[in-house]
Amino acid sequence: MNSRDFWADIQKIVENGFTPEGLAKLDAYAEKFFTQQLVYKRFSSSEQHGCADGGTANVIASILAGADVAANSGISTALDFKAERQRAAAQELVIEQWARKVGCWYANAEQTLCRVLGQQIAEGGEAHVFQHGCNLIKAIGLDYYIQPILALDRISLHNTYFPETRLTVLGFGRFSNGEFKIIVEQSHIQGSQMTDEEIAIFAQKMGFELINPGNWTFATPEIYLSDLHDENVIRSNEGNIFVVDCDIRINTPELRCKGIRKLSVEVSLM
């Protein structure tokens, strides 16, 4: 099956309203994604493993959002915020329709999370954080990314480069203000904050070049990594370093950080 046929099949599943047959086919595609019989060339091999580590919901949502990107691959939204918001709304809608069908949609997510988990323990620029035993539940918004596919990329890339603090997608929802949220679970790491200099040394040892110390931005030609400040990087009591949050993206030339990647929509299916 070539890329055109694959994306046409995904679009048909969407247009048919996620019938039981369509949902079964999506699950089968996800299983092939896990075993890399389905290769999504948006990702490297290790990044595809990172996507899979985010769970079935992460894989299927990435595929559904990818179908929208494939259908509109000839339309540039880089300088058109209105068009980008339209694409984001289309991706949100199809993910919501699927999530409602399979039971991983958090209706009234804000109230639901507070009722089940209690009051949130932290709120950052993009996430509301709740305690759940030894783990954290985070409701991640799209403020930094606009389009769901880019926020889902972030989860896949985080899992690739920082597997010790893997993000597992539990589902999706909306808060009372209408904002779309990705609900994830992550291990709760206890430890101490690090200095900017220590974080820079850590990132550079991983092969990242410091691009802008003002907003903690690092990059390789393949990966853009930002927001790596002292609240997002923790040294455990044993001396291990954990990145618990960051802005990580496929480094395309549009990010102006010496990136060389292209956001491919090519798929090969064995």
Q: How far apart are CA 230 and CA 82, in angstroms?
A: 34
Rg of the chain over Cα atoms, rounded to whole angstroms, equals 18
Domains of the chain: which residue ranges? 3-189+263-269, 191-255
pLDDT tens digits, 106-161: 988 989 999 988 888 888 778 899 999 889 999 999 988 999 999 999 999 999 99
**Phi, then psi, of 75 in degrees rounded to 5:** -105, 120
**Phi, then psi, of 55 in degrees rounded to 5:** 95, 170
pLDDT tens digits, 185-221: 999 999 999 999 999 999 999 999 999 998 899 999 9
Q: Cβ atoms within 10 A of the Cβ of 93, count?
A: 15
Q: Cβ atoms within 10 A of the Cβ of 176, count?
A: 9
